[in-house]
Amino acid sequence: MTGRPPPRRRGWSWRSQAFRGLVYQVLAAAVIGLALWFLAHNTVENMRARGIQSGFGFLLQPAGFDIGESVIPYDALEQNWKAFLVGVLNTLRVAVVGIVMATLLGTLLGIGRFSRNAIVRGLCYGYVELFRNIPVLLQLLVWYLFFTDVLPPISEPLSVGGAFFLSKAGFSFPVPVWGLGQALAAAGAALCVPIAWAYRRWAIRQFELTAKARSTFWAPIAIVIAGSFAGWIAGGAPTAWNYPVAGAFTMEGGASATPEFLGVLLGLVLYTAAFIAEVVRAGIASVAHGQVEAAGSLGLSRGQTMRLVILPQALRVIIPPMTSQYLNLTKNSSLAVAIGYPDVVSIATTALNNTGRAVECIAIIMLVYLITSLSTAGFMNWYNARAAIKER
């Protein structure tokens, strides 16, 4: 090569890339800053000119309105923040139950696409195409209409064995009367969870050492159930159940899910399951076919191949898109407001109208979803890192 050293980079120049980069950045920041300032300034100015009160102080004032369903005890005389909390918990309730159910249904549908039976394949395909091509809001509305319009009135509910009721008041089911037996059963189950977990760890280690397979799934579950059963026996084996009975306006006794909750849940689960099925299908399809053949030559059954070979590998491909489906489900739960389920959006709009704090209330909605989204994404990233291929 030539002996001349490359020209020394000068520290600074009008024409240098670094300087231009700086200019771009300063300009962009300035324009965005100005735009934000413009909007904020207008808002403050508008509020001042009309004497609109603002601030988050209203959260400490009494809410003054009732909420149809709540996970925690709530009274209309409590403060607004408690009402918001009720809304957030209602959102989380429908989101968590929805995520679990949608995952189960979606995984089954996704695996079903690889069934040997053509009818099963066709049904799974038809389901996915049908449900993912119709807006989720429309699905919610249809389910809600189904629950409130098509089902019989409370006075003559559909009943299974006199214990489960389905009517315009929702789905009612019996719950055990809470007593010593139930408390001890719960305590027993809680006590056995660490034992079951320890057993599972031990079984896996033994398998790795001696290749002697022990049950790592059913046995721990059996341990927990046994613990719970023992607690129940110790508590005198109570068998009293609280059965729902049709009252004048609602089903009294037992426990029930309102049509609003069921409508949101069913709509979200059926819609999201279609997307999860596609995620699972793509994940399974991404596993090299050689893996299946190798599993076959080892003599694994189809079920075993799926459980031990394909799904663990597919999981790596599945987790990231699955995360975004979970987030979508959570965000879509905000549509509950259209069918009267008291989620955080519904509570916020009520509070907004009672207090007039529009900016604050909508900011709270956004913040709640942002925090939920970011923390779900964080958890799934952690899980993804665990499931990723360990490079050795």
Q: Contact 295/312 with Cβ under 8 angstroms?
A: no
Q: Which is nearer to other proteins, 140 or 192 (CB)?
A: 140
The only residue of 13, 16, 43, 286 in contact with other proteins, by rule CB under 8 A = 43
Q: Which is nearer to other proteins, 103 or 355 (CB)?
A: 355
CA–CA gap between residue 17 and residue 48 (Å, rounded): 45
> What phi and psi, each to the nearest 5 degrees, are found at residue 158?
-70, 135
* Closest CB 176 distance from other proteins, rounded Å: 23
Q: Contact 178/254 with Cβ under 8 angstroms?
A: no
The pairing of strands 170-173 and 164-167 is antiparallel
Q: Which is nearer to other proteins, 3 or 51 (CB)?
A: 51
The only residue of 89, 108, 168, 242 in contact with other proteins, by rule CB under 8 A = 168
Vertex 162 angle, CA 156 and 164, to 5°:
85
Question: SS3 helix, strand, coil % of the chain, rounded to 5?
Answer: 70, 5, 25
Restricting to residues 180-239, name those near other proteins by CB under 8 A. none
Q: Contact 188/231 with Cβ under 8 angstroms?
A: yes
Restricting to residues 252-281, name those near other proteins by CB under 8 A. 252, 258-260
Stretch that binds other proteins, among 99-107, 183-191, 230-238, 248-256 (CB under 8 A): 248-256
* Structure tokens given for 137: 């809001």
CA–CA gap between residue 367 and residue 89 (Å, rounded): 14
Q: How far is CA 310 from CA 111, 277, 288, 295, 383, in A?
A: 11, 15, 9, 9, 18
* Closest CB 311 distance from other proteins, rounded Å: 19
Stretch that binds other proteins, among 50-58, 202-210, 286-294, 313-321 (CB under 8 A): 50-58
In the shown chain, the binding pattern of residues 352 to 371 toward other proteins, with x for contact by CB under 8 A and - for none, equals xxxxx-xx--x--xx--xx-
- The per-residue DSSP string of 246-258 comes to E-SSSEESSEEE-
Restricting to residues 53-112, name those near other proteins by CB under 8 A. 53, 64-69, 76
The only residue of 11, 51, 161, 290 in contact with other proteins, by rule CB under 8 A = 51
| 160 touches other proteins (CB under 8 A) | no
Q: Which is nearer to other proteins, 216 or 324 (CB)?
A: 324
List, in sequence order, the alpha helices (H) in 59-135. 80-112, 118-132
The only residue of 13, 16, 52, 163 in contact with other proteins, by rule CB under 8 A = 52
Question: In what order do the strands lie in the sheet containing 158-160?
Answer: 158-160, 164-167, 170-173, 255-257
- DSSP reduced 3-state for 241: strand
| 31 touches other proteins (CB under 8 A) | yes
| 6 touches other proteins (CB under 8 A) | no
The only residue of 222, 337, 380, 387 in contact with other proteins, by rule CB under 8 A = 337
* Structure tokens given for 129: 């195409």
| 133 touches other proteins (CB under 8 A) | yes
| 349 touches other proteins (CB under 8 A) | yes
The only residue of 16, 46, 286, 381 in contact with other proteins, by rule CB under 8 A = 46
Q: Contact 85/72 with Cβ under 8 angstroms?
A: yes
Restricting to residues 138-157, name those near other proteins by CB under 8 A. 138, 141-142, 145-150, 153
Number of residues counted as binding other proteins (CB under 8 A): 91
- Residue whose C-alpha is closest to residue 265's, from 211, 209, 319, 330: 330
* Closest CB 44 distance from other proteins, rounded Å: 10
